[in-house]
Chain A
Amino acid sequence: MKNVTFILNGKSTTVEVDPDKPLLWVLREDLGLTGTKYGCGMAVCGCCTVHLEGDAIRSCVTPMSRVDGKRVTTIEGLSKDLSHPVQKAWMQIQVPQCGYCQPGQMMSAACLLSQKPKPTDTDISEAMSGNLCRCGTYQRVRKAIHLAASLAAESGGRK
């Protein structure tokens, strides 16, 4: 066991864990942040996507040893008041069906928009190809990302 300290959704957080334990299970079991979902457990489906230093990593295969001293953002940390353009767009378009994959979809979308404020359809197809949705909400995801880009531009470039 080892103390791992990291910045979680803007707050310094310390947990005593096995350094090999995946970040996903520390978030869900040790810290109670259950917005991040367990899907495949092998970095294939994208349900567990969170941001590590701004990158859209798969928390189900990311050991805590890698997280030490870094910034992590989960779906709970996108905004405190549902004001993130991705959250607004997701609600306006009513993207989810069952909703299980949507936290991962939204975290990938937020990562994409932070690097490409006006993504093309091709950018979206590429960037979202690692997030699977068994309900088939892909077209609404695409529409919501375009809307989120517009909302961010209107609000002065917040991504």
Chain B
Amino acid sequence: MKLSILLIAGCLLSLAWLFTPQNSTANAFKARDAVSAKAAFAEAYKVFMHPRCINCHPAGDAPLRGEDSQPHSGLRLRRGVDGGGVLTLKCTNCHQSNNQQGLHMPPGAPNVLGDGFLDFTTPRWRLPSAKTPMIFQGRTAAELCRQLKNPQENGGLSAERLIHHVSNDPLVLWGWNPGEGRTTPPLTHDQFVASVREWLDNGGACPK
């Protein structure tokens, strides 16, 4: 009796599968993923557009500062080949491994050693390199999305390494510990990483 019921149920399932339009199901699945991916990217985009991120991902060749993303007043800074500044004006001439205490004091972040440990005796403060400047400022969500996924523009980062970067890079984490007088992005760091992960795990579709 039990065997008969199982056989009938199996036949019904097979028939149902045969009569289900497979392509449209697959497309619907992909479409759902794309919707989730775009929604997740829209959340992460709020962070990318915050001054804590914009200021070191400028459209020009020099870093910005403050909540209104102004140039460093007076200083004629340039990115340089490696993003660390040039001649007498290298970023780490002023920026240390930690935020300096007090309003308007230089912020800082530690370097990362090869094994992933943080080196608090060596500061890590720089723009992206001249070769891959990773501009955020002025980018629409669609433009930034495409740029972040393009290995030729993102410094050769795979999806996995991009998630690792936003999860662990001291300069990214600094955005949520920016020192006195500076605002933090609108999402928590965990929410931001979750959004980036959801965007990429769902195929990394970009908004139009």
Contact = CB atoms under 8 A, between A and B. Distances in A.
Contact of B76 (A63, A65, A125): A125
Given A43-B106, A66-B121, A66-B123, A129 B87 contact: no
Interface string B88-107: 11101110110010101110
27 contacts: A42-B100, A42-B106, A43-B100, A55-B92, A55-B93, A57-B92, A57-B94, A58-B94, A61-B94, A61-B96, A62-B96, A66-B97, A66-B122, A108-B88, A111-B87, A111-B88, A115-B87, A126-B86, A126-B87, A126-B89, A127-B87, A127-B88, A127-B89, A128-B88, A129-B76, A130-B75, A130-B93
A57 B76 CA distance: 16
Interface string A59-76: 001110110100000000
B96 A112 contact: no
A104 to B, nearest CB: 10
A25 to B, nearest CB: 14
B78 interface: yes
- Select the residue from A55, A62, A128 with max chain B CB neighbours within 10 A: A55
Interface string B118-147: 001111000000000000000000000000
Contact of A57 (B78, B93, B120): B93
A64 to B, nearest CB: 10
A115 B94 CA distance: 19
A129 B63 CA distance: 15
B21 interface: no
Interface of B: 74-76, 78, 86-90, 92-94, 96-97, 100, 102, 104-106, 120-123
A114 to B, nearest CB: 9
Indicate the size class of the contact surface on chain A: 20 to 34
A65 B89 contact: no
B104 A65 contact: no
Contacts of A111: 87-88
Closest 5 CB pairs of A and B: A43-B94, A129-B76, A56-B88, A126-B76, A127-B88
B113 to A, nearest CB: 15
A28 interface: no
Contacts of B86: 126
